[in-house]
């Protein structure tokens, strides 16, 4: 493994982080080398990035998976890649169409091939700025900024500086949201695509519908790792655009791949494959319960009050074994044949 010296732009934590080999930290990003030349990328909190990314450096060039939530976050990611290699980024993969993984696409520029599932292309070429996920999140982000600004009126002197930092982070995020000009994948796959580049084999798999209709996982067989996007997280992912009925079978196909390490679209990476079994069990029961309520004619609003899957918190993070109204509404759409 290549040892990468720690670069931390503010310099405050240099002594702490220098002990951590294989980690490069910029002001905005943490790049952890999880296999030779393969980096798991997460945000430091100094800007709103919202989702994780992966960087794969080959002998010739660089492949990036997911571009974050805004052009500004995408630019900061690209800048960070420049700290770990001088090779050019030539390929960007979108794990799925969701705004928090793909609205940084435009930062990569026309020279970079953008790859995604056919469905991702379809969703992003249509009206991505009208997607309920993007609209809802943008609204919440604007509201959060107003609330933070209002809090300035009452904050104590000790807390003021931290609040001002938070406000500037949130304001920059809202500002960059306004410059989003979505870029859809220019190259698509239906089932599988493999890059043989610069001594590496990088496989893209569509294993079936799950978190969306076009989730792609990025599998590196030699490195025995997989980037799963939001199809598989450290607990059940949000089902509001998902196919909960098909999700367990899709995860079954994920388990056929030979890997030890899972890099998810949100949260820390993990090695515990049993989590996949637990998420499958959660989805099976969720689908059963929601289908029964739907058959009884219970409204989605009432259904969400009646669903209790808290016993899954034995094996999964408690915060993730809930389902929100949009999740139930989506499952009702799937049951009624109106989901896309
Ligand atoms: Zn997502």
Task: Give the pLDDT confidence score for residue 20 in this predicted structure.
Answer: 61
Give the pLDDT confidence of 150-161 residue by residue, as tens digits. Answer: 999 999 999 999
Strands laid side by side in the 200-206 sheet: 192-197, 200-206, 216-220, 225-229, 261-264
Ligand 1 centroid–CA 207 distance in Å is 16
User: What global pTM score does this model have?
Assistant: 0.92
Q: What residues does each domain of the chain span?
A: 1-187
Q: Ligand 1 center to residue 311 CA distance, Å?
A: 25
Task: Round to whole Å and give the CA distance between 312 and 309.
Answer: 6
Residue among 238, 239, 236, 231 nearest 255 (CA): 231
Q: pLDDT value at position 124?
A: 97
> 278-328: per-residue pLDDT in tens?
999 999 999 999 999 999 999 999 999 999 999 999 999 998 999 999 999
CA of 230 to the centre of ligand 1 (A): 5
The long-range contacts involving 126-133, CB below 8 angstroms and separated by at least 24 positions, are 128/97, 128/99, 128/102, 128/103, 128/182, 128/184, 129/180, 129/182, 131/97, 131/99, 132/240, 132/326, 133/98, 133/99, 133/240, 133/241
Residue 34 has a pLDDT of 97
What is the DSSP-derived secondary structure letter of residue 205? E
Rounded CA separation 308/322 (Å): 8
Per residue in 59-96, pLDDT tens?
999 999 999 999 999 999 999 999 999 999 999 999 99
Q: Is the pLDDT of residue 9 over 60?
A: no
Cα dist from 9 to 12, 14, 30, 46, 252, whole Å: 8, 9, 12, 12, 43
Between the CA of 320 and the centroid of ligand 1 the distance, in Å, is 14
Topology annotation, domain 1-187: Metallo-beta-lactamase; Chain A (3.60.15)
pLDDT recorded at residue 21: 74
> How do 187-189 and 192-197 pair as beta strands?
unpaired
Q: Cα(306) to centroid of ligand 1, in Å?
A: 25
pLDDT > 90? residue 2: no
160-210 pLDDT tens trace: 999 999 999 999 999 999 999 999 999 999 999 999 999 999 999 999 999
Binned at pLDDT 50, 70 and 90, residue 221 comes out as very high
Q: How far is the CA of 193 from the centre of ligand 1 (A)?
A: 21
User: Residues 245-276: pLDDT tens digits?
Assistant: 999 999 999 999 999 999 999 999 999 999 99
């Amino acid at each position: 493994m290549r040892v990468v010296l720690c670069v931390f732009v503010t310099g405050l934590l240099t002594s702490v982080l220098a002990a951590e080999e294989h980690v490069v930290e910029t002001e905005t990003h943490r790049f952890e080398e999880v296999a030779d030349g393969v980096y798991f990328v997460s945000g430091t909190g100094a800007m709103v990035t919202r989702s994780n990314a992966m960087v794969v450096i080959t002998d010739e060039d660089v492949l990036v998976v997911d571009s974050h939530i805004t052009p500004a976050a995408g630019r900061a990611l690209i800048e960070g890649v420049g700290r770990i290699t001088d090779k050019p980024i030539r390929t960007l993969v979108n794990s799925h169409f969701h705004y928090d993984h793909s609205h940084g696409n435009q930062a990569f520029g026309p020279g970079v091939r953008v790859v995604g599932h056919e469905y991702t292309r379809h969703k992003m070429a249509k009206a991505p700025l009208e997607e309920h996920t993007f609209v809802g999140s943008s609204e919440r982000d604007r509201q959060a900024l107003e609330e933070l600004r209002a809090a300035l009126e009452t904050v104590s002197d000790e807390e003021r500086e931290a609040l001002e930092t938070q406000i500037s982070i949130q304001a920059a995020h809202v500002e960059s949201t306004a410059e989003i000009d979505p870029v859809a994948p220019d190259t698509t796959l239906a089932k599988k695509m493999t890059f043989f580049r610069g001594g590496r084999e990088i496989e893209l798999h569509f294993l079936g519908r799950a978190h969306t209709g076009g989730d792609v996982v990025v599998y590196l067989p030699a490195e025995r790792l997989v980037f799963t996007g939001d199809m598989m997280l450290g607990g059940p992912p949000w089902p509001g655009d998902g196919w909960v009925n098909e999700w367990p079978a899709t995860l079954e196909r994920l388990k056929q791949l030979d890997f030890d390490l899972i890099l998810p679209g949100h949260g820390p990476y993990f090695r515990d494959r049993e989590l996949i079994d637990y998420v499958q069990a959660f989805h099976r029961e969720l689908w059963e319960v929601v289908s029964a309520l739907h058959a009884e004619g219970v409204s989605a609003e009432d259904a969400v009050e009646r669903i209790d899957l808290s016993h899954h918190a034995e094996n999964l993070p408690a915060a993730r074994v809930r389902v929100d109204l949009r999740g139930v509404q989506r499952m009702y759409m799937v049951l009624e044949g109106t989901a896309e």
